[in-house]
Structure 1
Amino acid sequence: MIVVKAGGRIIRDNFEQLVNSLSKLNEKVVFVHGGGDIVSEYSKRMGVEPVFVTSPEGIRSRYTSKEELEVFIMVMNLINKRIVTGLVSKGKKAIGITGADGPSVLAQRKKKIVIVDERGRKRIIEGGYTGKITSVNSDYIVSLFSSVDSVIVAPLAVDLEENTLLNVDGDQMAFSIAKALKAETLVFLTDVEGVLFEGKVVPKMSVTEAKEMSKKVGAGMNRKILMAAEAVESGVGKVIISSGKIEDSINNALKGNGTVIV
C-alpha cells in the first residue's frame, strides 16, 4: 500500500495529469490532497478575506476562523469529489473521506498559537479552527480497500470533544496516515524536483542524513524532511519527495526520481 500527498498548487495547476497518474496505479493508494490556494479563491468570492500567520520557525500558514472553516470544508469536499469523479470515470473504484468518516482521523483543536507579528514580535493568539492530529484509525481505512482501489482524503480531521471538523496540515495528515498504515512508500509531490541543496537534487538520504539536511534547507522543506525521517523510523518503508508538475508524476516518483529517504 502506498500513500501519496499533493499540495494545493499541484491540484490547481496539474489536476488532470495528476488524476491520470493516480488512475494508472496498480496498487492500493491513499491519496491526501491539499487545496489552500483554491480555498483562498473561494473565500474571497464569498467575502471572507483569508488570513495568514507566520510561526517563530518562519512557516506561513492559514489562520482558520469559524467563517473560513465553513469555506474550507466546502472547498475541500469539492476538490475531494472532483478527484473521486475523475478516477471512477476512468474505471477505478474510489471513495473520498474526511477524518470525520469512521471516524478515521482524530485531532485536537489548537487553543492558542504563537505567531510572529508584522513588527517581528512573538505573540500568543487564539488558535482558531486548526488542529493537531492525535490518532489515525488504520483499521477503518484498511477496511475501505475491501471494496475500493483508492481512498481520497481531505485534510480535515475531527475533534470529538468540541464536535467540530478542523483544518489540519496536509503534510501532517499524509505522514500520520502513512505511519499508522506502515505504508510501503509515501510519495510527496511538490512543485520542485526533490530536496534541493546547493542547486542540485539530493537523490537519497538515510534518516540520519535527513535530520542533518533539515538544518540546511528552508522552513517549508525542513519540516517535510523531518516528518519523512520520523515516518521511516515509525515503519514506513521509504519516503519520496518528487515533482508533481510532470506527466505521470506518481510513477515517476516510484521509480526513484526525486529524493528518496530510507
Structure 2
Amino acid sequence: MTIVIKVGGARAVDPAGALSDVASLYEDGESVAVVHGGSTAVDDTLERLGMEPEYVETPSGVVGRFTDEDTMEVFEMVFGHLNTQLVAGLQSLDVDAVGLNGVDGKLLHGPRKSAVRVKEDGKKKIKRGDHSGTIKEVNTDLLESLLDGSYVPVASPPMAGADDGEITPVNTDADRSAAAIAGALDGTLVLLTDVEGVYEDPDDPSTLIESVETAEEWAELEAAAEGFMSRKIMAAEEALDNGAEEVVIADANAEDPILSALDGSGTHLYQEALEDTQ
C-alpha cells in the first residue's frame, strides 16, 4: 500500500516534520508519494509583483482562485521553486525523491476550463479567460514505475489541460490532486494542514472529530466543515470514491505529523462511511 501525503501550502505550515517522517517511512521500506500545495506562496509573489490575487465564488458557494494568463505564469514559477525545495530537503535526508508536476508525463490530465460560472453581487455570470482544469486521468504507470524503483515522487499542480487538442499547463487544486493520486494507487491519503483535523465547532479544538465510519457521522462531518476545510472534505470524498482505503486530516505542525496521523491522531475517514451514503 502506498501512503500519499499532501503537504499544505498555508503560511502556518512548516514542512520540516513531514519531510522527516517521509524519510523514516522510506527507510522502513514503505511506498510513499508526496503532493504539495503553494497557493499562499503564489499570493505572496503576486503581491510582490504588484498584482492582485483574484478569488471567485461559484454558484454553489465554493470559493476558488481565478487564474488568468499572468497569474498562471506566476503559479508555474512558484510551484516549480517549492517543488525543488522539497525535493532538495528530502535528498538531504537521504530520500531518493523525484520532483514532477502534473504536466510531466501527463501525470494529471483532464480538460481545461477556460470559462467558469461565478456568483457576483447575487447574480450568476460566466467569467472567461481562466486557466484551470479538472483531473480525469492519473498516469498511474509513471507513479508505479518510480515507486517500484524506490523513488519518492514529489508532485504538484499544474496539471496537463487538454484544450482543442493542445496540452497546456493549468491550475488545479492540490488537495484534489493528492486525492486523485491516492485513489489511483488505492492508497492511504494523509492531508496535512494547519489544524489538528475537523472540529465539530470550528473555533473549539476540543471538539475534534476523530473518526468517521458511518453515513450519519459523514453527514455530521460535512455539516461541521467550513471554509478551506470543506474543500478538504471534497478531496477526501473523491479519494475514497476512487479507491483510497482511508483519508486522514491532521496537523502538519504536530510532533511526527505523518507517523502520529497514521497512528491515530487527526480525523480519520473510511471508505465504508462514504459507501453507506451512496
Q: Secondary structure at the match of 1:202?
A: coil
Indicate whether 1:178 and 2:182 are aligned: yes
Distance 1:250 1:212, change over 3 A: same
Q: Which amino acid aligns with 1:194?
A: G
Per-residue displacement from partner, 1:86-119 (whole Å, max 9, x unpaired)? Answer: 11111110001011111211021113212222x2
Q: Is the 8 A contact 1:155 1:167 kept in 2?
A: yes
Aligned residues: 259
Indicate whether 1:191 and 2:199 are aligned: no
Q: Which amino acid aligns with 1:214?
A: E
**Which residue of structure 1 aligns with residue 275 of structure 2?**
none
CA distance in 1, matches of 2:67, 2:242: 30
CA distance in 1, matches of 2:244, 2:218: 15
CA shift, 1:256, in A, is 1.3
CA distance in 1, matches of 2:67, 2:237: 28
Higher deviation after alignment, 156-165 or 206-215: 206-215
Higher deviation after alignment, 150-159 or 108-117: 108-117
Distance 1:86 1:227, change over 3 A: closer
Q: Is the 8 A contact 1:3 1:178 kept in 2?
A: yes
Higher deviation after alignment, 40-49 or 171-180: 40-49
Q: Which amino acid aligns with 2:109?
A: L
CA distance in 1, matches of 2:219, 2:126: 29
CA distance in 1, matches of 2:61, 2:142: 36
Q: Secondary structure at the match of 1:182?
A: coil
**Which residue of structure 1 aligns with residue 75 of structure 2?**
72
Runs of 4+ in 1 over 3 A off after TM superposition: none
Q: Which amino acid aligns with 1:30?
A: A
Q: Is the 8 A contact 1:186 1:240 kept in 2?
A: yes
Q: Is the 8 A contact 1:32 1:173 kept in 2?
A: yes
Indicate whether 1:41 and 2:73 are aligned: no
**Which residue of structure 2 aligns with residue 147 of structure 1?**
149
The TM-score normalised by the length of structure 2 is: 0.86
Distance 1:223 1:40, change over 3 A: closer
CA distance in 2, matches of 1:212, 1:238: 18
**Which residue of structure 1 aligns with residue 6 of structure 2?**
5
1:74-93 maps to which residues of 2 (within 5 A)?
74-93=77-96
Percent identity between the two aligned chains: 35
CA distance in 2, matches of 1:211, 1:8: 27
CA shift, 1:211, in A, is 4.2
Q: Which amino acid aligns with 1:20?
A: S
Distance 1:32 1:197, change over 3 A: same
Q: Secondary structure at the match of 1:106?
A: strand
Q: Which amino acid aligns with 2:182?
A: A
**Which residue of structure 2 aligns with residue 105 of structure 1?**
108
CA shift, 1:257, in A, is 0.3
CA distance in 2, matches of 1:169, 1:207: 27
Distance 1:101 1:207, change over 3 A: farther
Indicate whether 1:29 and 2:36 are aligned: no
Q: Is the 8 A contact 1:95 1:148 kept in 2?
A: no
Q: Which amino acid aligns with 2:18?
A: L
